[in-house]
């Protein structure tokens, strides 16, 4: 990693204190309506190799509310579409802008480009992780429960990038994590082992009803992430894992429902649950905005 540059890549390379500071600042930004133009003359560039609504808009609005400006690049309208490497693109962008959000393929590539970059790189989602999302999720739960420590949090569905980041952030907070996925869609065991070293309580259940039993929070996500082929065979393997009222009845009476969105109503979640009184999905999406601002400030070493 380039020396002295604060990249926001994953929850392994960032300390517990830093994660907690970013969340505290996100909370202050939201509740004290902090919109000082402290990023005036600073530029953010965002590279999207995959579609985005929330990540793109929340970073753009966040940067602009703090006085900065944004340039967004899709593959089609840059030389990336003609085969210029992300590494070269990032090296060049560093000559113009102060910070970069990258939504791309793998964590491996993300880590590699961060080594070449003279400016901070923020992980805007890879096929392996989505840490910005989980920061907003934790903020949402802290607002609801004060602390996430000791909560029983249950992930149901695909052991995907968002699930991985839930596992990773368990290093920094002492919540209990139950994971229920079809056998062939389990998250990587080595990832879980790394976090268990910190004494965390992570358990796998094939039966989602057992996993959800008495949970404080139930979370799901699409059964086919971007870049994954959606097939009838694939979807049929998940049918038992839909978060519906019947499944939520196994959780605590007032259990909270979260989903990073976009949601596929009728697949991983029913409208009754996502639109229900215990769903915090819109607050969760709103918190992306506040957390993006604090991540930007942390990366630029401002406001800390």
Residue numbers annotated as active site: 103, 130, 133, 221, 260, 288
Among 14, 46, 141, 260, binds ligand CP (CB under 6 A): 260
The smaller minimum CB distance to ligand NVA, of residues 140 and 297, is found at 140
Among 58, 160, 220, 242, binds ligand NVA (CB under 6 A): 160
Q: Calculate the CA 249 to chain-centre distance.
A: 27
CA distance linking residue 75 with residue 82, whole number of Å: 9
As measured in angstroms, the least distance from the Cβ of 261 to ligand NVA is 7
The smaller minimum CB distance to ligand NVA, of residues 222 and 270, is found at 222
Q: Does 281 bind ligand NVA (CB under 6 A)?
A: no
Q: Does 260 bind ligand NVA (CB under 6 A)?
A: yes
x/- mask, ligand CP, residues 55-84, rule CB under 6 A, reads xx----------------------------
Q: Does 285 bind ligand NVA (CB under 6 A)?
A: no
Among 114, 161, 164, 294, binds ligand NVA (CB under 6 A): 161
What residue ranges in 134-192 does DSSP mark as E strands? 152-156, 176-180
The smaller minimum CB distance to ligand CP, of residues 38 and 226, is found at 226
Q: Which does 221 bind (CB under 5 to 8 A by kind): ligand CP, ligand NVA, none?
A: ligand NVA
- How many chain residues bind ligand NVA (CB under 6 A)? 9
Q: Which of residues 28-57 bind ligand CP (CB under 6 A)?
A: 52-56
As measured in angstroms, the least distance from the Cβ of 204 to ligand CP is 24
Cα–Cα nearest to 130, from 248, 194, 226: 226
CA distance linking residue 44 with residue 72, whole number of Å: 8
Residues 6+ apart with CB under 8 A from 233: none
Q: Which of residues 180-239 bind ligand NVA (CB under 6 A)?
A: 221-222, 225-226
The smaller minimum CB distance to ligand NVA, of residues 97 and 169, is found at 169
Q: Find the DSSP H helices in 249-303.
A: 271-274, 281-299
* Residue 144 near residue 37 (C-beta atoms within 8 A): no
Token couple for 169: 């952030």
Q: Which does 45 bind (CB under 5 to 8 A by kind): ligand NVA, ligand CP, none?
A: none
Token couple for 143: 């607002």
Which of left, alpha, beta for 150 (phi over 0: left; psi -120 to 50: alpha)? left
3-state secondary structure (DSSP) of residue 293: helix
Q: Which of residues 101-160 bind ligand CP (CB under 6 A)?
A: 125, 133
Residue labelled with tokens 């870049």: 227
CA distance linking residue 96 with residue 119, whole number of Å: 10
Q: Does 135 bind ligand NVA (CB under 6 A)?
A: no
Token couple for 29: 């930004």
For the chain, how many residues are written?
304
Q: How far apart are the first and last CA of the chain?
A: 21
The contact set with ligand CP (CB under 6 A) reads: 52-56, 125, 133, 260-261
Chain positions contacting ligand NVA, by CB under 6 A: 125, 160-162, 221-222, 225-226, 260
């Amino acid at each position: 990693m380039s020396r002295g540059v604060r990249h926001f890549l994953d929850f392994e390379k960032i300390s517990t204190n830093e994660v907690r500071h970013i969340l505290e600042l996100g909370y202050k930004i939201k509740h004290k309506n902090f919109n000082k133009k402290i990023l005036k003359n600073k530029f953010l560039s965002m590279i999207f190799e995959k579609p985005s609504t929330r990540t793109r808009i929340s970073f753009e609005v966040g940067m602009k509310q703090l006085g900065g400006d944004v340039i967004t690049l899709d593959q089609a309208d840059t030389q990336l579409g003609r085969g210029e490497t992300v590494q070269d693109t990032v090296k060049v962008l560093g000559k113009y802008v102060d910070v970069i959000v990258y939504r791309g393929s793998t964590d491996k590539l993300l880590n590699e480009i961060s080594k070449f970059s003279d400016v901070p790189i923020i992980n805007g989602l890879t096929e392996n992780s989505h840490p910005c999302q989980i920061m907003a999720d934790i903020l949402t739960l802290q607002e609801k429960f004060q602390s996430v420590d000791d909560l029983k949090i249950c992930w149901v569905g695909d052991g995907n990038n968002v699930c991985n980041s839930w596992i990773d952030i368990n290093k920094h907070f002492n919540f209990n994590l139950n994971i229920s996925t079809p056998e062939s869609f389990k998250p990587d065991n080595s990832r879980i082992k790394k976090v268990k070293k910190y004494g965390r309580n992570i358990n796998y259940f094939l039966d989602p009803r057992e996993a959800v039993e008495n949970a404080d929070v139930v979370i799901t996500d699409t059964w086919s992430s971007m870049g994954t082929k959606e097939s009838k065979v694939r979807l049929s393997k998940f049918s038992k894992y839909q978060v519906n009222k019947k499944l939520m009845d196994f959780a605590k009476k007032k259990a909270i429902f979260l989903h990073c969105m976009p949601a596929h109503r009728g697949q991983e979640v029913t409208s009754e649950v996502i639109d229900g009184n215990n769903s915090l999905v819109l607050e969760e999406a709103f918190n992306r905005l506040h957390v993006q601002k604090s991540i930007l400030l942390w990366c630029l070493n401002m406001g800390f």
